[in-house]
Amino acid sequence: MLTIENLTTFHINKKQLEKITEELTSREVDLTICYNDTIQTYNREYRNIDRATDVLSFPIESEINLSHDSIIPLGSIVVSIEYVKERAVEFNHGEDDELTLLFIHGLLHLLGYDHEVDSGEMRAKEKELIEQFHLPESLIIRTEDF
């Protein structure tokens, strides 16, 4: 299940994001779409980094051994719509596609993937999902930046 809080005027293609969520987890995921000032506040508060960023993930930590169909939410993803718009122009693809990529990236972090320490597993999974959901190939290049 996907719950979206849109703090912007951007129109979100919720169906695509819901399909991706359902493909990867049965647990609830919260998505917040905001502006740079809001994501900068979260980044400063939770990561001690005082700047805006494109996407943040906040997994819900639990000592309970969670099953695949647990009722405990998976976590929250926060995406900056300003980054979405800038990167869509930079990489020459649609804003919906960029938002979808950032959502996939955040969701994979919630699921335990970590591109900063793995051996390419997260990037491979991103590529697989981009292809599975028929997203533009320009997003595969985009994943190289993460």
- Output phi, psi for 140, to 5 deg: -65, -45
Backbone dihedral region for residue 96 (phi beyond 0: left; psi -120 to 50: alpha; all else: beta): alpha
Range of the domain at 12: 2-143
Coil, helix or strand for 36? helix
pLDDT class of 4 with cuts at 50, 70, 90:
very high
How far apart are alpha carbons 41 and 52 in whole angstroms?
8
Q: What is the CATH classification number for the domain harbouring 139?
A: 3.40.390.30
Establish how many alpha carbons lie within 13 A of residue 12's alpha carbon, considering only the half-sphere containing its beta carbon: 24
User: pLDDT tens for residues 17-38?
Assistant: 999 999 999 889 999 999 999 9
What integer pLDDT is reported at residue 76 of this predicted model?
95
Q: DSSP assignment, residue 67?
A: -
Q: What is the pTM of this model?
A: 0.87
Quickly list H helices, the chain: 14-24, 36-47, 81-91, 95-110, 121-132, 138-143
Number of folded domains that form the chain:
1
User: pLDDT tens for residues 112-139?
Assistant: 887 777 777 888 888 899 889 988 776 6
* pLDDT higher than threshold 90 for residue 44: yes
**Rounded (to 5) percent helix, strand, coil in the chain:** 45, 15, 40
